[in-house]
A and B are shown apart, each in its own frame.
Chain A
């Protein structure tokens, strides 16, 4: 166990290094370099060369990568092209709204998926299972932006019970209730999208447990079906499902890009779109690296918790 945990933690370091290499490689494909933006008509080629040398652009790619990596390790992700503000500052301002949105959505998707998946599994091949399956497939197949637009249309424009977007009412008090009111629709959309796949996991996990020997033993000794489900099957089935939370991060972050855009939610997703529109590559690369690190942490969390709760997991 301990050896596995140590190995599992150590393996994240080469992965993180790989993340920086790939991000740097994509970044180096960007058209132009910092010097080209500062070229004025009066500059000669010699002036340009001096300037390039000053920026270190005359050195080979791996030297530049290592210099850049050193800055990253010290927490410097570069400076925004459009505003000159440090990338870490721009991203830092956007982390809290995104976390609020995604964590709420994650919790909500569990609240939806756990009961639906359980019902589907314990009443397999009944109409309830088919409805749950249909719900799961709809969740997987609905484009987030379409669901978001439809949500705005129904709840904000037709019934006018929820705001169309933003985090607080302009000119309002911006209190907790107001913020919560603004959170419902975007988090709900993201939650439904995530609940689809999660429902299938819950269903198959419960079905797997129901097929175990100890469930048959419980039934054989006369325990009622209800108690078998509640005491024996569901609890054990939920353990692996909870560890899956860490694996939801990529889908949540990807979904947040679109949800934040649709609902004008000032998080990292919206910053991504802003950065794309302004061709602000340092910001884009910063977001790519930060989110990839979050995903790596999520994977680590999932593997570690899973191996802790399920002692059968043994790797070499």
Chain B
């Protein structure tokens, strides 16, 4: 925040209206980031596509057209059909549901866990912090996809929910580390000491005074995390360890393209889902970049 409010007006405001002005300032800065705003618009369109898939899609994603196997794009099947005779356009549209569900739920899950663990580590300090920090170090030592593959395969039959749970359970350490750092920096501030001096309980001090001031970088991390979760789900489904056919996922539609004949002769089957993964991940990353600039997480209060 380069241009803060003049000191006298800051002093007159209570913490609540200051927080609001921080968010409205952030909002204005975000709106100036053109790529981020455009990214937000495209993301809204993809989200609408997921919600209204039933209305937009020309047909069912699992219906089989016995008259058209591996059919190239035509007026009946705008993006052709796959090896089983299913409409590719309908599958690609419905698959957005899978990606967004994984992206949002898995990230919501690990942000919640990460925030709780990070708050405890940062606020409790001492031995508890030492132990929790080492646990984070250990979990961050595993290459992301490999530990996820290991966990998913141990978890039993791969499915959408297994992917969400595994991502949710394994993804929290970076968030926890972030929250811990924020809490450590904030807990020495005078308003926190004041809150404690007035008899605020630990839970109240953390949830009402520390966390609201620590959430800006978490929001940025969650945005980038959503993009990453969509990529990981696509990769898992591509490898056959994620969402199982006939349920369409952008990743599992691409699995067929591992066959060279499909890759060479049926570009309508693998280009659209790949393009959709790229666009959704790209726009979410743009939004994340805009949020980072707007919220300036390097700023401590």
Contacts and interface: CB of A to CB of B under 8 A. Distances in A.
Contacts of B141: 15, 18-19, 292, 295-296, 299
A26 interface: yes
Interface string A250-274: 1101110110011000000000110
B161 to A, nearest CB: 16
Contacts of B277: 143, 146
Most chain B beta-carbon contacts within 10 A, residue among A23, A27, A146: A146
Contact of A276 (B139, B149, B285, B286): B149
Contacts of B289: 137
A299 B154 CA distance: 27
A19 B277 CA distance: 32
Contacts of A15: 134, 137-138, 141
B243 interface: no
Interface in B113-142: 134-135, 137-139, 141-142
A292 B148 CA distance: 13
B260 A258 contact: no
Interface stretch (B21-29, B77-85, B102-110, B232-240): B232-240
B121 to A, nearest CB: 15
Interface size of B as a range: 35 or more
Contact of B278 (A18, A143, A257): A143
Contacts of A95: none
A157 interface: yes
Given A146-B254, A149-B257, A253 B153 contact: no
B199 to A, nearest CB: 34
A152 B285 CA distance: 26
Given A143-B234, A261-B239, A291 B286 contact: no
A258 B145 contact: yes
Interface in B235-273: 235, 238-241, 251, 254, 257-258, 260, 263-264, 267, 270
A284 B267 CA distance: 34
Nearest to A158: B264
A22 B150 contact: no
Interface string A163-177: 010000000000000
B212 interface: no
B132 to A, nearest CB: 12
Given A27-B154, A272-B146, A149 B282 contact: no
Interface residues of A, number: 53
B166 to A, nearest CB: 10
B267 A153 contact: yes
Contacts of B151: 26
B143 A295 contact: yes
Interface in A281-301: 281, 284-285, 287-288, 291-292, 295-296, 299
Contacts of B260: 152, 157, 164
A113 B220 CA distance: 24
Name A's interface SS.
helix
Nearest to A249: B143
B50 interface: no
Contacts of B146: 253-254, 257, 272, 287-288, 291
Nearest to B158: A276
A29 interface: yes
A292 B143 contact: yes
B89 interface: no
Contact of B145 (A21, A30, A137, A254): A254
A143 B142 CA distance: 20
Contacts of A251: 143-144
Nearest to A27: B154
A145 B150 contact: no
B278 A150 contact: no
Nearest to B144: A254
B241 A276 contact: yes
A205 to B, nearest CB: 15
A301 to B, nearest CB: 13
A253 to B, nearest CB: 4
A230 to B, nearest CB: 29
A55 to B, nearest CB: 19
Given A137-B282, A149-B258, A250-B143, 13 more contacts: A18-B137, A22-B138, A26-B150, A26-B154, A31-B156, A140-B281, A145-B235, A157-B260, A249-B143, A253-B145, A254-B146, A281-B153, A296-B141
Interface of A: 11, 14-15, 18-19, 21-23, 26-27, 29-31, 137-138, 140-146, 149-150, 152-153, 157, 164, 249-251, 253-255, 257-258, 261-262, 272-273, 276-277, 279, 281, 284-285, 287-288, 291-292, 295-296, 299
30 contacts: A15-B141, A18-B137, A18-B138, A22-B138, A22-B139, A22-B142, A30-B154, A137-B289, A141-B227, A141-B231, A141-B281, A143-B238, A143-B274, A143-B277, A152-B260, A250-B143, A251-B143, A254-B143, A254-B144, A254-B146, A258-B238, A258-B239, A261-B258, A279-B153, A284-B150, A287-B146, A287-B150, A291-B143, A291-B146, A295-B142
